[in-house]
A and B are shown apart, each in its own frame.
Chain A
Amino acid sequence: MTAAVSDYALELLGIRCTFRAREAGTASSSYTAVADTTLRVRAGEFVSVVGPTGCGKSTLLNIGAGLLAPSAGEVRVFGEPLAGINRRAGYMFQAEALMPWRSALDNVMLGLQYRGVPEGEARAQAQTWLARVGLGGFGDRYPHQLSGGMRKRTALAQTLALDPDIILMDEPFSALDIQTRQLMEDEVLALWAEKKKAVLFITHDLDEAIAMSDRVVVLSAGPATHPIGEFVIDLPRPRHVAEVRTAPRFIELHTQIWGVLRDEVLKGYQQQLRQVA
């Protein structure tokens, strides 16, 4: 093993991502979602990426996961170049990713089964993780029998059960109501504090980003998204997301970051209007 070669768990270096448009005949046949983006996440660091909607945040995350190959640039995982799926990363998706034909417990077991963990052991581990996200008694329920928040918890347990060194999260709580959301955010922070994994957290909610992260990266509006600001969040931990929002330092940081983000949000909005017109 080449451990300690790099301080960084995940590095996206000079990433550029251009999509070819499928429909023939259109004038602009390619679309550059991300351009010249360099983003580094240290081991054990919680980094949030905020940006206007449709700016290519998810593209960036898919590149880090190895689901998408960048057009140019390099991805390094603990110092080693990434080829194919990022095996050291767990990914929590924005959309529903649970298998509807498997019970909650079977869903959490899934990754362990893929890795060839013996059935009994996988079941026991999955049960432990379900209990840790507060769903110990719901293992036999199918996803459609669970509420939205519970499904997200199950997905969280599914991701964490493999004990990944890097956790990628794509607006995981955007579909939840505000109370459930704050509860989940606190739970994720508590789980993260136990093991201190590297987290790359995508969100469009600035409050959420500041409350949870060590560092917030602001992206420009698309196309050709790139980072335009980086802010270290020096709020003391442990934090409770609902309480930290009233701290004077939080408001100060929020004002600073919003100053950078606001122009991009407006730009992004204008572009969307133009596309519709």
Chain B
Amino acid sequence: MWKSIQPREGNLRLWQLALLLVVLVLWQLASRDAQLAFFLGEPVQVAGRIWSWFLPWGVAPNALFPEGLPGHADIYRHLGTTLLETVLAFGLGTMLGLAAGLWLALAPLASAILDPYLKAANAMPRVILAPIFAMWFGLGIWSKVALAVTLVFFIVFFNVYQGVREVSPVLLANARMLGANQKQLLRTVYLPSATAWVFSSLHTSVGLAFVGAVVGEYLGSARGVGYLIQQAEGTFDVNTVFAGIVVLTFFALLLDGLVGTLERRLMTWQPRQGETERL
């Protein structure tokens, strides 16, 4: 009996699902205690909240939901705002980080002058910039984009900077012997080798773009998932807070998957792990 369900390569997915189910069931059981439920929420109610957010159909009162479920389908406005902020910040931050990283890596004097300030800017807990950005850019999306850009920028910047400085000297010497001028070196050596480093940083930075957007909304906004969470917290509606977390996690994973797909498309030249030399 145990032999057939023992964890192995083939049934990993099943085990992962089982683990989730066990946690959910324990959580649900724990929430039968009213006091615990106040702090921990209730998985079934969380699921109901997500249903109401996404689907336009109501559910009649039943055993699980004695009061029934309304079908608001009203999250799209908020989710759209949060995703727009995230994508804008991700794009802008990556572009700026790439440009600044390339420039400073290739201009040693400028990087020597700016070095202490870059270190300071990176060490600073940048979330505290949110109030300043709110003053500068108002409570619309741009203050959130600005906050998230500061998070994404440094990740990409430091990776590109490192990547360009670690370009193989042999590769550079070879390109120069083959007659490359400065511009051609940038296009055919520095940029492609920096791209590999950028991609390794994009997985981290897509998550941080989300953090920036949501924290920005949480600190002051009129729409967005962060705003929903903040509103729910104000009324001690812990189920809605958890529902917001679940939705955000799902979309963060989705964006991360998109980056992964893009990476596989653009980086075909990289050897995959376990790939044998095809000869």
Q: Which of B173, B178, B279 contacts A145 (CB 8 A)?
A: B279
Chain B residue at smallest Cβ distance from A115 = B179
Contact A146 B177 (CB under 8 A): no
Contact B176 A111 (CB under 8 A): no
CB neighbours of B168 from chain A (8 A) = 95-96
Q: Report the minimum CB–CB distance from A155 to chain B (whole Å).
A: 8
Contact A100 B269 (CB under 8 A): yes
CB neighbours of A110 from chain B (8 A) = 175, 178, 188
Q: Is B180 an interface residue (CB 8 A)?
A: yes
Contact with B along A142-168 (1 / 0, CB 8 A): 101111001000000010001000000
Contact A101 B178 (CB under 8 A): no
Contact with A along B162-194 (1 / 0, CB 8 A): 000000101101111111110010001100110
We find that the number of chain B residues with CB closer than 8 angstroms to chain A is 26
CB neighbours of B119 from chain A (8 A) = none
CB neighbours of A204 from chain B (8 A) = none
CB neighbours of A158 from chain B (8 A) = 178
Contact B176 A146 (CB under 8 A): no
Contact A114 B269 (CB under 8 A): no
Contact with B along A60-80 (1 / 0, CB 8 A): 001001010000000000000
Q: Which of B174, B178, B279 contacts A146 (CB 8 A)?
A: B279
Q: Is B278 an interface residue (CB 8 A)?
A: yes
CB neighbours of B125 from chain A (8 A) = none
Bound form: Cα–Cα A19–B213 in Å: 52
Known A114-B184, A144-B277, A145-B278: A99·B177 in contact at CB below 8 Å: no
Q: Which of B173, B192, B279 contacts A101 (CB 8 A)?
A: B192
Contact B171 A97 (CB under 8 A): yes
Contact A91 B279 (CB under 8 A): no
Contact A85 B269 (CB under 8 A): no
Q: Report the minimum CB–CB distance from B68 to chain A (whole Å).
A: 58
Q: Is B271 an interface residue (CB 8 A)?
A: yes
Chain A residue at smallest Cβ distance from B177 = A91
Contact with A along B11-30 (1 / 0, CB 8 A): 00000000000000000000
CB neighbours of A96 from chain B (8 A) = 168, 170
Known A99-B189, A100-B269: A114·B173 in contact at CB below 8 Å: no
Contact B177 A114 (CB under 8 A): no
Q: Is A172 an interface residue (CB 8 A)?
A: no
Q: Report the minimum CB–CB distance from B200 to chain A (whole Å).
A: 14
CB neighbours of A56 from chain B (8 A) = none
Bound form: Cα–Cα A103–B269 in Å: 8
CB neighbours of A35 from chain B (8 A) = none
Q: Which of A157-201 contact B (CB under 8 A)?
A: 158, 162
CB neighbours of B179 from chain A (8 A) = 85, 87, 111, 114-115, 162
Q: Report the minimum CB–CB distance from A114 to chain B (whole Å).
A: 4
Contact B178 A99 (CB under 8 A): no
Bound form: Cα–Cα A144–B120 in Å: 40
Q: Is A89 an interface residue (CB 8 A)?
A: yes
Bound form: Cα–Cα A162–B189 in Å: 19
Contact A162 B178 (CB under 8 A): yes
CB neighbours of B171 from chain A (8 A) = 97, 99
Bound form: Cα–Cα A145–B270 in Å: 10
Contact B178 A144 (CB under 8 A): no
Contact B174 A114 (CB under 8 A): no
Contact B170 A95 (CB under 8 A): yes
Q: Is A42 an interface residue (CB 8 A)?
A: no
Known A96-B170, A100-B269, A144-B269: A67·B176 in contact at CB below 8 Å: yes
Q: Is A93 an interface residue (CB 8 A)?
A: yes
Q: Report the minimum CB–CB distance from A258 to chain B (whole Å).
A: 31
Q: Report the minimum CB–CB distance from A171 to chain B (whole Å).
A: 13
CB neighbours of B170 from chain A (8 A) = 93, 95-97
Contact A67 B173 (CB under 8 A): yes
CB neighbours of B268 from chain A (8 A) = 142
Chain B residue at smallest Cβ distance from A142 = B269
Contact A114 B180 (CB under 8 A): yes
CB neighbours of A141 from chain B (8 A) = 278-279
Q: Which of B173, B176, B192, B195 contacts A99 (CB 8 A)?
A: B192
Q: Is A102 an interface residue (CB 8 A)?
A: yes
> 10 A–B contact pairs at CB < 8 A?
A67-B176, A87-B179, A93-B173, A97-B170, A99-B192, A102-B269, A110-B188, A142-B269, A145-B279, A147-B277
Given contacts A95-B168, A110-B188, 19 further A-B contacts (CB under 8 A): A65-B173, A65-B177, A91-B174, A93-B174, A97-B170, A99-B171, A99-B188, A99-B192, A100-B269, A101-B196, A101-B269, A110-B178, A111-B178, A111-B179, A114-B179, A141-B279, A142-B268, A147-B279, A162-B178
Q: Interface of B with A (CB < 8 Å)?
A: 168, 170-171, 173-181, 184, 188-189, 192-193, 195-196, 268-271, 277-279
The 6 closest A-B CB pairs, nearest first, are: A111-B178, A97-B174, A114-B179, A91-B177, A144-B271, A101-B269
